[in-house]
Structure 1
Amino acid sequence: MKTRKIGFGAFAGLVLAAGLSGCGGTGEAAESEPPEAASARVISVEVEPVQLAAFTEFVRIVGNVAANRDVTISAEESGVVRQLYVDKGAHVRAGQPIARIDDQVLRAQMERATAQFRLAEETWERQRRLWEDEKIGSEINYLNAKYNAQTAKASANELRARMERTVVRSPISGVLDARMVEVGSMVSPGAPVARVVDTETVKVSGGLPERYAADVTRGSEMRVGFDALGSTEFMGKVQFVGATLNEQSRTIPIEVTVPNSGGVIRPGMVANLQVARRATEGAILVPQQAVLRRENGYVVYVAVDRDGGTVAEVRDVIPGVSESGRVVIEQGLQPGDRVVTVGQQQVSAGDRLRIVNG
């Protein structure tokens, strides 16, 4: 019985010793194994080297196109429209007849006034010879005859002028854009007959923000574009700059005239106006999408060579004005810096970069 107990104790001691020995061997092996190196993140990007370039800042405003001259022609005499000379859409010259109003009544009145004038003139001539040459008659008869002749002449001239006004004429050269009457229509003085627009030159009206008041003056040249006409641009000249400010919009009214010999610019179109405000030589320009907004300002990522590779470095920058998708960097970059322009949203400072555009 005693022998059994000794054997069990010895066996247990051997098992315990073997377990401790095994644990100790495992710990030493773990300590002697070298640590695994962490894998570095590699981001594929495109870069653009910073270069000095000329930059022009433009003032941009939106305007509306109107005809240089837009005239609604009204009747000056009453009567029935007897004849129309021009169709809508046709070109007319200044002074060209557009319509004719019935003139029968006026014609009869003019013929009577003309006859009365001839009689009064003949009477005056005879009375003048009698009084001035032979001193026959009285001075009052002489003066009455003179007055009657002058009055009759004025009446005849008035009716002749009214007769001429029965023919409605265009006061300007342009296009007959609308016609408000037809043959047989009854019109009275002041009734609209037709509308003529002159689009050889068009007028663009817009509002200039007050901060640019010193940059645009009468005679300034402006580039004018239209969304409806694609990339075609026209040159215009500022003909009017308002003397007062619109208090609601804080803008100054301006008018720009634009030659339109081809007739492609139509009244009612929306125009994009721009005028050069400031030109800078040797500006640092980067694509606008390369500049990222952060809580404390703006940054760009720059590719720099370090430790045998290319890594991303973040730069705080101060952006200036922008133009056509590019922005001037006032501070933070130097010529030769390689700015990340594609992939910058996925980049963090210290990331390794793979430049895919060479």
Structure 2
Amino acid sequence: MKRSSHNPVTKMMTVLSGIGLVVILNSCTTSSGNSGGMQMPTPSLPVISVSNQAATTFLEFPSTVEGKVNVEIRPQVSGYLERIYVDEGAYVRVGQPLFGINDQPYREQNANAHAAMLAAQANVEKAQLEVDRLTPLVKNNVVSEIQLKSAEASLQTAKANLAQAKAQAGNTQISLGYTVVKAPVSGYIGHIHHRLGSLVGRGEDLPLTVLSDVNEVYAYFSMSEIDFLQFKARTQGNTLEEKIKNLPAVELMLADGSAYSEKGKVETVEGQFDKTTGAISFRATFPNAKGLLRSGNTGRVRIPSVHDNALVIPQEATFELQDKVLVFVLADSNKVVSRPIQVEGQTTNYYFVKDGLKTGDKIVYSGLSRLRDGAVINPQPLSLDSLLKSKPL
């Protein structure tokens, strides 16, 4: 049986399909008709006027701190460690006893040496008596002169033996004194490597301890070859020694990021570059009367560079493209144009511009990601002085 094409359901589906097609076409027509009339609003962005400021930048270099004097304390005689007079970290003065080594063997040696010295002294006196006895007899021709010369020779031998005995006694006395190890300088005691009862001697690999004189400390830091060349170029002076003398006082930033309270002075530089690292080492001296710094401390030496009239811009107002630093400069008709700049220094928040901008140029401060060359903005003036108050140089 043939189905009728006038089925009500079929008619309804056809009508609905037609209505949907009309709605879609009408929507597309309306959308395309209005697309030409829609415009993006002009963005309002903060703009600052570039100006010159007096500022100071810092070059930072990792450093290690050492006491002005670091002395390895080693025994000069062998024996068992009987006494430890100090504790680790204690401050000691020059000549103060630090360690005591068993001195009994050295006392015995010293006693024997003194006994031998007394015997040698007695032999000298005996030989002298013999010479004194024979001298008048020779003058009176009672005995031959040969006997007197023999006695005088014996006297000289006795005196030589006495001198040798005195030297031996002196050596044993010195060795006995070495059983008490004393501080050669004032300073702080480091780690004590041996304990009571340990057998110590001159051949030990480890010292008894290390004594550090930290009334002044040395901060050692290194510059790469490029940094060193830039240092020589920007520092006044005809010779390297003059340039070092002309460097201002330096700061020491501690491991926690705080600044050490005392300023230091760069004093020396090594004579050649390290072939392994390609760097050259400097030494700065810092006073440490309070003993706050110890050997082994780490930190960063900061060398200041004073800029009397630097062109300052915030780092937020810049962006990087292919290793270049750029800014958006406000041009005619409120259009922005990207411009590369050359940076000669920086602080945490600001760049110092060497080339690419001049005083009075206006640059966009924020919202740079939305901008392209030729884009039009609604500039909102922002004072650089107010920005400097909230984010100091």
1:290 to 2:303 alignment? no
Q: State which drifts further: 72-81 or 162-171.
A: 72-81
Q: 1:316 to 1:262 in 2, by over 3 A?
A: same
Normalising by structure 2, we get a TM-score of 0.71
**Count of equivalent residues:** 319
User: What is the aligned counterpart of 1:153 among 166, 169, 172?
Assistant: 166
Separation in 1, partners of 2:129, 2:75:
45
**How far does residue 170 in structure 1 lie from its aligned partner after superposition?**
1.9
Separation in 1, partners of 2:365, 2:133:
107
SS at match of 1:157: helix
- 1:323 corresponds to which letter in structure 2? Q
Separation in 2, partners of 1:88, 1:330:
53
User: What is the aligned counterpart of 2:365 among 341, 347, 351?
Assistant: 341
Task: Structure 1: state its 5+ residue gaps.
Answer: 1-34
Separation in 2, partners of 1:36, 1:208:
61
**How far does residue 233 in structure 1 lie from its aligned partner after superposition?**
5.5
Q: 1:297 to 1:140 in 2, by over 3 A?
A: closer
1:270 to 2:303 alignment? no
SS at match of 2:120: helix
- 2:311 corresponds to which letter in structure 1? I
- Does the CA contact (< 8 Å) of 2:80 and 2:101 recur in 1? yes
Separation in 2, partners of 1:243, 1:160:
45
- Does the CA contact (< 8 Å) of 2:336 and 2:377 recur in 1? no
**1:118-164 CA distance string (max 9 Å, x none):** 23224324534654797374221121111011011101101000000
- 1:104 corresponds to which letter in structure 2? Q
Residue 3 of structure 1: aligned partner: none
Separation in 2, partners of 1:232, 1:153:
56
- Does the CA contact (< 8 Å) of 2:343 and 2:355 recur in 1? no
- 1:199 corresponds to which letter in structure 2? V
Matches within 5 A, 1:321-340: 321-324=344-347, 325-340=349-364
Residue 85 of structure 2: aligned partner: 85
- 1:62 corresponds to which letter in structure 2? P
Separation in 2, partners of 1:322, 1:194:
45
Matches within 5 A, 1:61-100: 61-100=61-100
- 1:120 corresponds to which letter in structure 2? A
Residue 5 of structure 1: aligned partner: none
SS at match of 1:75: coil
**How far does residue 36 in structure 1 lie from its aligned partner after superposition?**
8.1
- 1:203 corresponds to which letter in structure 2? Y
Residue 352 of structure 1: aligned partner: 377
Matches within 5 A, 1:310-329: 311-324=334-347, 325-329=349-353
Separation in 2, partners of 1:133, 1:350:
126
- Does the CA contact (< 8 Å) of 1:301 and 1:312 recur in 2? no
**How far does residue 336 in structure 1 lie from its aligned partner after superposition?**
2.5
SS at match of 1:184: coil
Residue 4 of structure 1: aligned partner: none
**1:175-216 CA distance string (max 9 Å, x none):** 112112222222233333223223332222222122325257
Residue 52 of structure 2: aligned partner: 52
1:165 to 2:193 alignment? no
**How far does residue 353 in structure 1 lie from its aligned partner after superposition?**
2.1
- Does the CA contact (< 8 Å) of 2:51 and 2:311 recur in 1? yes
Q: 1:295 to 1:74 in 2, by over 3 A?
A: closer
Separation in 1, partners of 2:310, 2:209:
56
**How far does residue 300 in structure 1 lie from its aligned partner after superposition?**
1.6
SS at match of 1:299: strand
**How far does residue 246 in structure 1 lie from its aligned partner after superposition?**
1.9
Query: Identity over aligned residues, as a percent?
Result: 24
Q: 1:87 to 1:276 in 2, by over 3 A?
A: closer
SS at match of 1:87: coil
1:239 to 2:252 alignment? no
Separation in 2, partners of 1:37, 1:356:
31
- Does the CA contact (< 8 Å) of 1:176 and 1:197 recur in 2? yes
**1:277-305 CA distance string (max 9 Å, x none):** 5x443221111232223459543223468
- Does the CA contact (< 8 Å) of 1:176 and 1:195 recur in 2? yes
